[in-house]
Amino acid sequence: MNKKISSALISVFYKDNLAPIVAFLHKQGVKIYSTGGTQQFIEDLGIQVTAVESLTSYPSIFGGRVKTLHPKVFGGILYRRDNQEDISQSAQYEIPSIDLVMVDLYPFEETVSKGASEEDIIEKIDIGGISLIRAAAKNFQDVLIVASREQYADLLTLIQEKNGITSLTDRRKFAAQAFDITSHYDTAIFNYFNQEEDNLVFKQSIRHGQTLRYGENPHQQGVFYGNLDEMFDQLNGKELSYNNLVDIDAAVALMSEFSETAFAILKHTNACGMATGITPKEAYLKALQADPVSAFGGVIITNKTVDLPCAEELNKLFFEVLIAPACSVEALELLKSKKNRILLLQKPVRLAEKQFKTLLNGVIEQDKDLAMEIEADLKVVTKRAPTTEEIKSLLFANKLVKHTKSNTIILAADGQLFASGVGQTSRVDALEQAIEKARHFGFDLSKAVMSSDAFFPFPDCVEIAYKAGIKAVIQPGGSIKDADSIAYCDANHIAMVFTGVRHFKH
């Protein structure tokens, strides 16, 4: 049923773009009720407004904590216009109808994110506002609810185009959006309190989403929930796909381990190329050497500005996505020559420290693997200690192994991935895969070190590595047969260090 707006309650924290709405309502002869700062804002526009206090005959009390919590306010919102008993009671108690409610919520999440004191945070838990929103949304048959400044433009368009009249479809749409806002708000409050209470309850809320072309495969539907614009500026290329996003996530996580100039090339979330260098061009070319075949169609990431010399090399390769903090004007012009090539400028954004996914009939959650070992964490367990250069290579390889699917072995040297054995059911298989691949692309394994994501249950891996020419190993340790691997290393002058930290990735 269509309804003409004849009265409105407006009490908002954010007043940007509110003036044209109020002006239009006034022009339509709508009676406006308001409180506090919003009332003053409307009066400053030269528009007549009725204070809620004059409606309730009750002042704002307790420092503004109680302003609108009154039967004359909630009655005016909740009474059913087609219910004779409700109509009679509204007349008996002199409760005016309220057809439009514009109320937003105190900025709770923003206050928390700024590191405010708990006292300030608690004061930003809205009581009256969220109650008004829920009441108006519940009675969407008669009332239009606007619960966020994000809806101001839609509201103004609606009332201008329909001359102040709303349909049931309009009101139901705004009600759904209102409940989205209130549920998100309550989730944020719960998660704030639950940081210290440890209630085993899973609650997450993300209010932005975009439909993807499809999911992992064309027959699967896909949606991304989040705001990618907060993290990237897309300068070129087609819409990001589900698989693009999965690979981009893996690429960003890997590159976060490096501060020196670095490039990584990923396929199916695993690095097929990774290197550091003095210049972006050098780092890229070293990364490409590891597997120029798999690099085709990959996702590429760097932590430095892409200049023209680097872009000229990149432009020789077909790749899906390039992620960088910046590009020179000349580099960008060249890279944009391929219209479907996705170019993303990465912005500094704090990422979540938890990760979760659906599993069986529920959800599984864990802390992200944010551990990364440094030289001081390494325990030399063999007679021969690694050289300074070997230590650098071992730490580089250990960063890579953390971000590669288990079971995995990384072979690397001097800031360059030689090869990896990825996602194998046997660690021996992973090592043999890595050795074969490194040799195929012409690497001298006598210069390489080996990293493993988990301990060696038997000495077979260090034996195979030694026979391939490898002389330094990094692994977590912790096997009941560690002594066997150590003994083999000592007998063959291999240096081995334990980190004490396993980096499984499934």
The residue annotated as part of the active site, out of 268, 336, 338, 392, is 268
Query: Alpha-carbon distance 202 to 362, whole Å?
Result: 10
Q: Confirm if 469 and 448 have CB atoms less than 8 A apart.
A: yes
Residue 268 annotated as catalytic: yes
Measured N-to-C along each axis, helices 168-197 and 128-138 cross at an angle, to the nearest 10 degrees, of 140
Q: What angle do CA 374, 380, 382 make, to 5 degrees?
A: 155
Q: Confirm if 136 and 101 have CB atoms less than 8 A apart.
A: yes
What is the helix (H) or strand (E) element at residue 177, kind and residue range?
helix 168-197
DSSP assignment of 261-281: SEEEEEETTEEEEEEE-SSHH
* Paired residues of 70 in beta bridges: none
The residue annotated as part of the active site, out of 15, 70, 124, 138, is 138
DSSP assignment of 24-72: HHHHTT-EEEE-HHHHHHHHHTT---EEHHHHHT---BTTTTBSS-SHH
* Paired residues of 270 in beta bridges: 267
Q: In the structure encoding, which two tokens stand for residue 122, read together?
A: 């608690």
Contacts of 90 (CB under 8 A, 6+ apart): 75, 76, 79, 96, 97
> Which residue is associated with the tokens 């501060």?
259
Strands 472-475, 495-498: parallel, antiparallel or unpaired by DSSP? parallel
Q: What angle do CA 197, 200, 201 make, to 5 degrees?
A: 105
Closest by CA position to 252, among listed 403, 365, 355: 403
Catalytically active residues, by annotation: 138, 268
